Amino acid sequence: MHWTENVDPFHDCCVHGRLYLKIGSQIVSAGDSEWTVSTAAFNFLRTIFENHDDAQEEDLIPCCGFNMWPDDSLKDGLYIPNCGNGIDWSVEHEAGTIAHRLSTNVTLYTSKRVWARAVCDFADEVFAYFQTAWPKVIDNEEDRMGFDRFIKLWQERRSSAEKLLNGERFN
């Protein structure tokens, strides 16, 4: 993982890096390209509890995230635009399992707990890297509000995922 080259890491709100992701027998990301792994971790945390429609939402693994803007018209109240050059697939919750519907017309299934454990391990690794340049210095008020909402949602989702992993029931 790394910060943007030639940018003060205390001003950089996105962690970048290579991501290897294999679901079942399918390699979704071979680890040979750079992605915005902080936004990917954030998006994955959401998929533990919510569906993701690849035709309607931003990429799960984005190439870039231009910014984090508060937008109360959206479900999360946060908009993280990207260039559309990422990796995306649909995620649907089905009676205790999660269906990952890839663009190759392959559907892979994971249990909710297995997906949650993998996502939490990844998110924790990314968040630990965030801490290497903390606190963030964000001069623009709207940007600060967006980043604060990003971190708040991240922590809420991570906490909910931990409850799931500890055996508490969630729908």
What total of structural domains would you count in the chain? 1
> CA of 138: how far to CAs of 18, 58, 81, 145, in Å?
25, 24, 18, 9
pTM as predicted? 0.95
Is 159 a domain residue? yes
Is 7 a domain residue? no
User: What's residue 39's pLDDT?
Assistant: 96
User: What's residue 145's pLDDT?
Assistant: 96
Q: Which domain holds residue 69?
A: 16-165
User: What's residue 170's pLDDT?
Assistant: 53
Is 26 a domain residue? yes
Is 145 a domain residue? yes
> CA of 47: how far to CAs of 1, 51, 81, 134, 154, in Å?
22, 6, 18, 26, 12
Is 8 a domain residue? no
Give the number of other CB atoms < 10 A from CB of residue 135: 7
Is 42 a domain residue? yes
- How high is the mean pLDDT in each 10-residue block of the chain (171 residues)? 95 96 95 96 97 94 89 92 92 94 94 96 98 96 96 97 84 49
